[in-house]
Amino acid sequence: MIEMVTQRELYEPMIEDMGASQHYFYGKSLEDACAEMPASQMVDIGDRFVEAAVVEPDGARDEEHDLVLSLPYLNGWTPHHYIRGKALQHIVAPDSRVIVLPNSSFGKQAYTFTDTERQKITDGDISPLAEQQMAAVEKLAVGAVSLTGYSQGGRNVLGMTAVGSDKVEVVQANADEMPSKVGRGSKQLQKDFMKSSRIRDLRAAVRESRVDALTDAMNAPRMARDLTKFGLAGQRKWAKDMAQVMTGSAEDLVESAVGKLGAGALKLGFIEGSRMFDPASLSKKTMDQIRIVQYVGKNLHGHASGDDVYLHAGFVDDAFNCPRG
């Protein structure tokens, strides 16, 4: 069964926290955000390094729980994503650290693969990335973790959940706008992404966050530069190989994640107007074991909705704190 949740229903339980978060950012410039933004680190996982950034809570830390955020395709650690992570923290888990896992991007490799692992990635197997990112989380986290990701980040989260851990407990997982469609190859995936993430929607999503530092970070010149870098990076072989992990149905990946996490602890969300996730790509058996939500409403912006940091936080809050199922 697919639930339908409106933007208003999404915001109702988080309105006070959202106001407090917007107050936190009020008057802060992009320079202010950059000054408080933690540097990412290359986490030593034994045979190589994986990039991660840790956003500390404003007050006392919950020593038993961390929130893990896996970023979208070709998205690195930037002020935009610091603001996304901080807003997520304010809304979903204000006492927890947010461990952000960037993807490799223009000029920055967040992880590396052996030839054997690279072939798996090319074949659409996300496990080499999931294993590395889970190893990094094990080095940084203590106790329990909640995993969430958007777009490719959703696939990463399912992969990490399926890999599992004997050092930290994955208590819940959320994947929003995760690419999944039967028989879809990389070229069609790119077309569907472009139709789901128009520039005007991206600009509207950023504007509607009402965070001045984010608006500045994503102003027209910077957005043009970032989109150019995104396009250039997407032409590299390693990026084309990584795109393969988002093709086809995610049925097997969801099934594996549910096998580790258990029924009822995983939510998949998708947005009206986006072509990234097709519910028909999952079997009824799998759908019966998870929560699937479609977010609907005239003020949503397709796949670009995730760039409204409070909408993004609302999707995650709906999974972890306010399930309606």
Pairing of strands 49-55, 2-6: unpaired
Taking the C-alpha atoms of residue 215 and residue 316, their distance in angstroms, rounded to an integer, is 22
> First CA to last CA across the chain, in angstroms?
9
Pairing of strands 2-6, 97-101: unpaired
The answer to whether 301 touches 197, Cβ cutoff 8 Å, is no
Average pLDDT for runs of 10 along the chain of length 325: 94 96 96 97 96 96 96 93 98 97 89 95 95 97 95 96 95 97 94 90 91 90 81 81 93 96 93 96 95 93 95 97 69
DSSP class of 180:
B
Residue 104 falls inside a structural domain: yes
Residue 188 falls inside a structural domain: yes
Domain limits at 252? 2-320
- The 3-state DSSP class for residue 275 equals coil
Domain count, the chain: 1
pLDDT at 149: 98
DSSP class of 249:
-
pLDDT at 180: 97
Whole-number Cα distances in Å, 139 to 43, 99, 117, 135, 165: 8, 11, 21, 6, 11
Taking the C-alpha atoms of residue 94 and residue 84, their distance in angstroms, rounded to an integer, is 13
Whole-number Cα distances in Å, 261 to 21, 91, 210: 31, 24, 36
Strand arrangement of the beta sheet that strand 97-101 belongs to: 2-6, 291-296, 266-271, 169-176, 144-150, 65-70, 97-101, 49-55, 41-44
Pairing of strands 266-271, 169-176: parallel
The answer to whether 145 touches 274, Cβ cutoff 8 Å, is no
Q: What is the CATH classification number for the domain harbouring 7?
A: 3.40.50.1820
The reported pTM is: 0.95
pLDDT at 232: 73
Residue 325 falls inside a structural domain: no
